[in-house]
């Protein structure tokens, strides 16, 4: 009976929020001419909201969104558009994504009503073991591990694109890469974010001549408004057009990747100690994308689909939603709602750290972590008048006991906060939510000479050593193992039809960004553009909760501090995108207004 009531409530809420979104768009919709797809290769206009027919694309970059729109206009579907957008992001957002990295692809098929996923996460070399990041029995300093061949995992992005297109796409690799290849050849306009990210990485970039040649032509930081070209990447995309993903896993490009990892091309005058990795041609040739079932959680009558392990995104967002399911958040004050959200996140991260790793190497209790029974056993920890002391100890999802713990409390390790996310939809109702990454902003800092892309530092997502020697750590390195991720590409269905899709970059803050945006939209009834752009908080089983300035300076912070919360102000959390079908057949595409310089939402046939 409760399920039926929730179903009816969800449908009613969906109608209310969709209507509110349409009404709100009268004041939040971008000015005429913004958010309207254009031919890839020229500079698109940044608009954070777009409404119209024929399909939608939302990403952090206008040229990338335009590439996806172009493929939709050519008759491609949401999968084709997602790959086209991702390939363009490899040109215009090379410090966050590219064929040197990996990611997770979540797709809704309108014909069958099914949600499918691809795990394109990077893998450790077959020679890797738990001591990968240890020297003389001690863990390497994080900054030394990042900029090294040791941190480079076998890239999964190119294989993900090929698998997605072969299984669910309608266009060839060459067709969907064409817009990105054009951008790489003709160039894109450098914006403030690109220049700042280059400046932030300048010191380590200068240790690698190939990286300097590519991103700092003439040895200087690129000027805002200048044109950045990448003919090497254009040639790599041409090779993929001819040979598919094999171009990166079996051909000359593969040889160059291996050579670069095993003997990083460091400037002879550099004083940086850059360690070599042990990635081999066998590692590249044997890489496989995993086609697996999505994680699934029920919330307020909606079905929430995301990535199952090796990502912790689906299980951690799902557990937090299950913890909150028993509370009517719509009736709470802002202070009460934030308190419940923060505490649910704190508890879910405690369980994530103890139980989630690569299921090919670890016994991960995915079903149990997502059970309402386990969530109920954990929700009893949360009190309205006081704050849990962090770190919180994990529970045991296999044998839940009210407020019980399975092991001692451990801290949450650091994760790089780069990455990028895109969402697409087409005129047939197919939807894609895709998060891809090279880990740190700038990845390893090491460019494959002559190939136009940076290599990832994804293996630093492993625990360098056990977080606690007395507690099993499921995220230690191992041969061919995938490091635990927080990426949470999400598609939400209402009675089998898309309600919305969203995701975000941000390392471990991805989980809290997706969770908070969903609560804003589903429980608070905020239109999607407002839900996505609202100020954020992120609690990851730490003493302090990170919050953005608008929350830090708000009148709600003192009230939360009065019951024991402690906060750390940070400039921004995440850079989300979303798409949502409206009742009349139109699509709403939403991106950030300000975070990371603002995003770009576009539709095929925009509303005038």
Distance from C-alpha of 528 to C-alpha of 517, rounded to nearest angstrom:
8
CA dihedral 493, 524, 346, 296 (to 10 degrees): -10
Tell me the H-state helices in 187-251: 192-205, 209-215, 231-243, 246-249
pLDDT for res 511: 98
Do you know the residue count of the chain?
Answer: 608
Pairing between β-strand 545-547 and β-strand 567-569 as defined by DSSP bridges = parallel
Cis peptide before 433 (omega within 30 of 0): no
pLDDT at 212 over 80: yes
Spell out the residues 6+ positions from residue 580 whose beta carbon is closer than 8 angstroms to its own: 18, 21, 498, 499, 500, 501, 528, 587, 588, 590
> Three-state DSSP class for 361?
coil
Q: What is the pLDDT of residues 157-175, one digit of tens each?
A: 999 999 999 999 999 999 9
Which of 123, 260, 419, 420 is labelled catalytic? Answer: 419
Distance of CA 397 to the CA centre of its chain: 26
Beta bridge partners of 589: 50, 579
Mean pLDDT value of segment 540-553: 97
Question: In the chain, where are the structural domains located?
Answer: 2-291+414-560+567-606
Beta bridge partners of 311: 485
Output the CATH code of domain 2-291+414-560+567-606.
3.60.20.40
Q: What is the pLDDT of residues 557-594, one digit of tens each?
A: 999 999 999 999 999 999 999 999 998 999 999 999 99
154 catalytically annotated: no
Residue ranges of E strands in 2-101: 49-59
Kindly state the helix (H) or strand (E) to which residue 510 belongs, with its residue range. Answer: helix 509-518
User: Residue 269, exposed/middle/buried by CB under 10 A (0-12, 13-18, 19+)?
Assistant: exposed
Distance from C-alpha of 206 to C-alpha of 107, rounded to nearest angstrom:
39
Q: What is the pLDDT of residues 392-444, one digit of tens each?
A: 999 999 999 988 777 777 777 766 667 999 999 999 999 999 999 999 999 99
Cα–Cα distances (Å) from 484 to 77, 205, 274, 276, in that order, read: 30, 27, 24, 23
Beta bridge partners of 123: 154
Percentage helix, strand, coil for the chain under 3-state DSSP, each rounded to 5: 40, 20, 45
Q: What is the pLDDT of residues 72-127, one digit of tens each?
A: 999 999 999 999 999 999 999 999 999 999 999 999 999 999 999 999 999 999 99
Cα–Cα distances (Å) from 32 to 29, 424, 540, in that order, read: 9, 21, 41
pLDDT at 38 over 50: no
In whole numbers, what is the pLDDT of the chain averaged over residues?
Answer: 92
Distance of CA 124 to the CA centre of its chain: 20
The pTM is what? Answer: 0.93
Distance from C-alpha of 323 to C-alpha of 95, rounded to nearest angstrom:
36
Mean pLDDT value of segment 449-467: 96
């Amino acid at each position: 009976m409760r399920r039926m009531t929730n179903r009816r409530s969800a449908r009613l809420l969906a109608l209310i929020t969709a209507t509110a979104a349409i009404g709100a768009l009268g004041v939040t919709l971008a000015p005429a001419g913004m958010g309207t797809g254009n031919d890839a290769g020229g500079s698109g206009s940044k608009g954070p909201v777009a409404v119209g027919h024929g399909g939608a694309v939302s990403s952090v970059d206008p040229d990338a969104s335009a590439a996806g729109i172009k493929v939709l206009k050519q008759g491609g579907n949401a999968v084709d558009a997602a790959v086209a957008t991702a390939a363009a992001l490899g040109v215009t957002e090379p410090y966050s994504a590219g064929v040197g990295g990996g990611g997770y692809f979540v797709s809704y098929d309108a014909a069958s009503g099914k949600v499918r996923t691809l795990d394109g996460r990077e893998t450790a070399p077959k020679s890797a073991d738990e001591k990968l990041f240890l020297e003389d029995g001690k863990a390497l300093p994080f900054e030394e591990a990042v900029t090294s061949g040791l941190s480079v995992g076998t890239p999964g992005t190119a294989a993900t694109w090929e698998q997605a297109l072969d299984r669910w796409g309608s266009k060839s690799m060459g067709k969907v890469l064409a817009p990105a290849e054009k951008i790489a050849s003709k160039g894109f306009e450098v914006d403030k974010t690109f220049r700042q990210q280059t400046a932030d990485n300048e010191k380590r970039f200068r240790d690698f001549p190939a990286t300097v040649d590519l991103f700092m032509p003439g040895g200087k930081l690129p000027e805002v408004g200048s044109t950045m070209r990448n003919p090497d990447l254009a040639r790599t995309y041409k090779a993929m057009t001819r040979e598919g993903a094999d171009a990166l896993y079996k051909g000359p490009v593969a040889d160059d990747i291996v050579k670069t990892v095993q003997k990083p091309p460091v400037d002879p005058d550099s004083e940086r100690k850059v360690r070599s990795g042990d990635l081999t041609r066998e590692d590249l040739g044997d890489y496989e994308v995993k086609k697996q079932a999505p994680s699934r959680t029920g919330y307020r009558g909606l079905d929430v689909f995301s990535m199952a392990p090796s990502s912790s995104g689906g299980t951690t967002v799902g557990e937090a939603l299950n913890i909150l399911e028993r509370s009517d958040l719509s009736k709470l004050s802002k202070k009460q709602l934030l308190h419940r959200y923060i505490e649910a996140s704190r508890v879910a991260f405690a369980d994530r750290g103890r139980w989630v790793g690569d299921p090919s190497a670890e016994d991960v209790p995915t079903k149990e972590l997502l059970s309402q029974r386990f969530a109920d056993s954990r929700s009893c920890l949360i009190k309205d008048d006081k704050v849990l002391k962090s770190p919180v100890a994990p529970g045991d999802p296999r044998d839940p006991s009210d407020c019980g713990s399975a092991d001692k409390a451990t801290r949450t390790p650091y994760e790089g906060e780069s990455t990028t996310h895109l969402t697409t939809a087409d005129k047939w109702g197919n939807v894609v939510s895709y998060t891809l990454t090279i880990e740190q902003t700038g990845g390893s800092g090491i460019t494959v000479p002559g190939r136009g892309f940076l290599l990832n530092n994804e293996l630093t997502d492993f625990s360098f050593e056990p977080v606690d020697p007395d507690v099993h750590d499921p995220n230690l390195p191992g041969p061919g193992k995938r490091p635990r991720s927080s990426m949470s590409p999400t598609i939400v269905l209402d009675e089998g039809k898309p309600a919305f899709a969203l995701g975000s970059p941000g390392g471990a803050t991805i989980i809290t960004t997706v969770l908070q945006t969903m609560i804003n939209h589903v429980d608070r009834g905020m239109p999607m553009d407002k839900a996505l752009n609202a100020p954020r908080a992120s609690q990851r089983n730490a003493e302090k909760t990170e919050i953005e300035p608008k929350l830090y300076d708000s009148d709600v912070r003192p009230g939360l501090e009065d019951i024991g919360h402690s906060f750390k102000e940070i400039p921004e959390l995440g850079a989300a995108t979303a798409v949502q079908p409206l009742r009349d057949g139109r699509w709403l595409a939403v991106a950030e207004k300000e975070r990371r310089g603002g995003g770009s939402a576009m539709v095929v046939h925009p509303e005038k």
